[in-house]
Amino acid sequence: MTAAALQAIREEAKSHIDNADERTVRMVIAMLEAAEEEDDAYFAEIDRRTKEYERGEVRGYTLNEVEEEAMAYAKEKLKNRK
């Protein structure tokens, strides 16, 4: 999304909020706060997993390894359907 498009959406949202009743404004605030909390939890989980990887506690996989495993799994599932 371009900066101009994002700005247009923000202005539209502000216009709606300016005309909204108290209940609606409180709901929007609660939704935004919940989204911030989810972002914080997401990044905390990413940090935790990165540290585990860096300490050698978990194994990482290349994209090719993941693709090969997924293809093998899908082929097995299709074979078992018949």
Please tell me the distance from the alpha carbon of residue 55 to that of residue 57, in angstroms, as a whole number.
Answer: 6
Tens digits of per-residue pLDDT, 21-80? 999 999 999 999 999 889 998 999 999 999 999 999 999 999 999 999 999 999 998 888
- Is residue 28 assigned to a domain? yes
The answer to whether residue 11 is domain-embedded is no
Q: What type of residue is 67?
A: E
User: What pLDDT score does 82 carry?
Assistant: 65
Domain encompassing residue 53: 22-81
Domain contains 13 = no
How many domains does the chain divide into? 1
CA end-to-end distance (rounded Å), the chain = 45
